Amino acid sequence: MKIMIRKDSLIFAVLLMTACTGPGAPQLRHSANDGEGPFIQNCKNVSSATKVNNYITNYYLSTWGSVFVEGTREQLMESFAEIAAAMGIPAGNPILNGSTWHGMLAERVNHLPVPPLPFCRPYDASAWEVSQVIEEILPLLGNGVLVSDKERGVFITNFVERHHSAARWRDGYEINVIDEGPGQSVVVILRTLYISRSHGVFNQAISVGHNEAWIMTQIAEGLKRRSP
C-alpha cells in the first residue's frame, strides 16, 4: 500500500510541474498587479492580451507533460487491476481508485488523481450579457449542447470523440459565468479531455488551454459587436 501511495504522489508532483506548459498555451496572468482586473484563485488566469483566432479539432491539445502523466497513470491502474483480479474483485469496483469501465466495448477510463484547473478571464460586462454571447458560441464547438442556462450562467457540452493517425480523444466543455457585480463578470472554462494512444484505454489528460482561449476571444469579440 505504501508503494501505491508513493506512485500517486509522484503523479501529483508531475501534474503540478507540467500542467501549464505546451504548444498553443495561452498567455497567463500571474498576479492582480497587471491592471487586467481581478485575479481569480484556483484557475489559470488568461490574459486579455491573448487572441486566439482558430478553433482546433484535429489535434487533442494537451500539455507537453500530459503524455507522461497519462502513461504513468495507466501503468499504475494496470497494477491495481492485476491486484484486484487476483483478489477476485470485478472490474469497475471502487478499489481500483480512479479507473472505470463503461460502454459496450468495456473501454477503460483512467482519471487524474487531481482534477486539472480550469481557465478563467474577467470581462467588463454583466453576467447576463456574457451568457447571451456564450449561448451563440456554444454550437460552434461541435460537441452538442447538454445545458445552456443563461439565467444561471451554466453551459455544458456533450463529449465528442475525434482522432488522427496517432490517437483518439474525447473532450467536453463546462462554462460558468460568475456575476462580479454591476457590469463585471468572470468566465470559467473547464475542458475535460481523455486520450487513447493505445489498447483502447482513455487516460484523462491536461488541456493546454488553446480552445478555451479561443472561446474567451470569441466572447470578447461578441461583446464588442453588441456594444453601442
For β-strands 107-110 and 119-123, DSSP reports them as unpaired
Quick check: 144 and 92 in contact, CB under 8 A? Answer: no
Q: What is the pLDDT of residues 181-217, one digit of tens each?
A: 999 999 999 999 999 987 678 889 999 999 999 999 9
Per-residue pLDDT of 128-155, as tens digits, reads 999 999 999 999 999 999 999 999 999 9
Share of the chain above pLDDT 70, in %: 71
- C-alpha angle 134/138/140, rounded to 5°? 125
Q: Is the dihedral of CA 127, 128, 132, 133 positive or negative?
A: negative
Q: What is the pTM of this model?
A: 0.78
Is the distance from CB of 196 to CB of 168 less than 8 angstroms?
Answer: yes
Out of 2-6, 45-49, 87-91, 118-122, least confident range:
2-6
HSE, CB side, 13 Å, CA atoms: give it for residue 99. 23
Question: What are the C-alpha distances in Å from 17 to residues 10, 33, 64, 194, 211?
Answer: 11, 24, 11, 19, 21
Q: How confident is the model at residue 24 (pLDDT cuts 50, 70, 90)?
A: confident
- Where in the chain are the domains? 2-226
